């Protein structure tokens, strides 16, 4: 699924507020039930966080304190978000850096491993077994961050500014080399849009230490690769992910739309709101 645009048309009332030890790394705050009263998240004991649940969504993936990766349905027009599934590979946990939704499949990058599984997950479960890792013909690079593409071909950022192309069907990969960025830019945080398998130009979001903190570059592959500043995003904090060039955008645990900080991303655990520390974001069905 493309990393573009808004989701719509799905109305959700939560029946569960999470459980187990999948506690987000950023902790949380206890609330007293104030807020929306028409749509509430209720746990098995009848407690409520008392916050409204929206009707338009994106999927985000968070890294939990116990080392697992959990996918949430994030409410783009409400206040509360739904714990969907925690990733497993057999008996083991999966800690992924990013993911792709495309053509009824999800690809999870858990460097140096990759997993491909049907999406969306079956209803009613709290975990998703992503199966065995895909074996590449040569050991893939490590330290992979953001990925973008489809369930067959995708691009990845290695380290902070090296680009790598993967062909999951052929189980091969190719490094496309590094990209020179301004001295105050730390590296690439994400891709904007979905690059084609044979792309020679990529649009990338870079995180920088001086204003503007979030800059968009057109990266041209060649000898050498080059980056041309295209525009910037007006958020005043470094963003981890984008769903489109104009929004929504996600910081560590904050939803931005149109340059405006909307709210923290959080889900209900009993009567406590816990922050979601986003590591990947996708539009989806």
Express each pLDDT in 124-164 by its tens digit.
899 999 999 999 999 999 999 999 999 999 999 999 999 99
- DSSP count for the chain of H helices, then E strands: 0, 24
The predicted-structure confidence for 3-55, as pLDDT tens digits, reads as follows 432 222 222 222 222 333 333 333 332 222 222 222 233 333 333 587 888 88
The closest alpha carbon to 61, from 264, 282, 254, 280, belongs to 280
CA distance 129 to 132: 9
pLDDT of residue 113 exceeding 70? yes
DSSP state, residue 197: T
Q: Which has more confidence, 196 or 32?
A: 196
Query: What phi, psi does 94 have (nearest 5°)?
Result: -120, 125
Q: Out of 18-27, 67-76, 182-191, 222-231, which region has the weakest mean confidence (pLDDT)?
A: 18-27
| pLDDT for position 138 | 96
Angle at CA of residue 195, ends 192 and 196, nearest 5°: 165
- To the nearest whole percent, how much of the chain has pLDDT over 70? 82
For the chain, the average pLDDT equals 82
- Mean pLDDT for the stretch of residues 110-114: 92
| pLDDT for position 35 | 28
CB atoms within 10 A of CB 246: 15
Burial code (b: 16+ CB inside 10 Å, e: under 16) for 227-239 equals beeeebbebeebb
Query: What phi, psi does 88 have (nearest 5°)?
Result: -135, 155
| pLDDT for position 157 | 97
CA distance 245 to 169: 29
| pLDDT for position 272 | 85
| pLDDT for position 185 | 98
User: Residues with Cβ < 8 Å from 124, sequence gap 6 or more?
Assistant: none
| pLDDT for position 31 | 27
- Mean pLDDT for the stretch of residues 117-122: 94
- Mean pLDDT for the stretch of residues 161-188: 97
The predicted-structure confidence for 231-272, as pLDDT tens digits, reads as follows 999 899 999 899 888 889 999 899 998 889 999 999 988 888
| pLDDT for position 23 | 37
SS3 content of the chain, % helix, strand, coil (to 5): 0, 45, 55
């Amino acid at each position: 699924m493309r990393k573009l645009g808004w989701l719509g048309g799905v109305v959700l009332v939560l029946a569960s507020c999470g459980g187990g030890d999948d506690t987000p790394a950023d902790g949380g705050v206890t609330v007293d039930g104030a807020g929306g009263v028409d749509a509430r998240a209720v746990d098995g004991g009848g407690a409520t966080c008392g916050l409204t649940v929206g009707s338009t969504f994106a999927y985000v993936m968070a890294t939990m304190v116990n080392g697992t990766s959990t996918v949430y349905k994030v409410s783009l027009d409400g206040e509360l978000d739904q714990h969907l599934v925690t990733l497993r590979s057999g008996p083991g946990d999966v800690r992924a850096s990013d993911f792709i939704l495309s053509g009824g499949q999800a690809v999870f990058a858990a460097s140096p491993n990759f997993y491909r599984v049907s999406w969306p997950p079956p209803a009613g479960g709290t975990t998703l077994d992503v199966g065995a890792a895909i074996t590449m013909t040569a050991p893939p690079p490590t330290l992979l961050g953001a990925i973008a593409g489809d369930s067959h071909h995708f691009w990845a950022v290695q380290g902070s500014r090296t680009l790598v192309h993967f062909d999951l069907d052929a189980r091969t990969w190719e490094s496309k080399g590094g990209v020179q960025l301004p001295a105050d830019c730390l590296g690439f945080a994400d891709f904007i849009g979905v690059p084609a398998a044979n792309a020679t130009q990529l649009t990338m979001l870079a995180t920088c230490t001086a204003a503007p903190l979030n800059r968009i570059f057109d990266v041209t592959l060649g000898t050498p690769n080059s980056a041309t500043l295209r525009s910037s995003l007006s958020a005043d904090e470094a963003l981890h992910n984008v769903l489109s060039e104009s929004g929504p955008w996600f910081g560590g645990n904050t939803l931005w739309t149109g340059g405006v900080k909307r709210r923290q991303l959080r889900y209900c655990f009993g009567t406590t709101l816990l922050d979601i520390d986003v590591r990947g974001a996708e539009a989806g069905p």
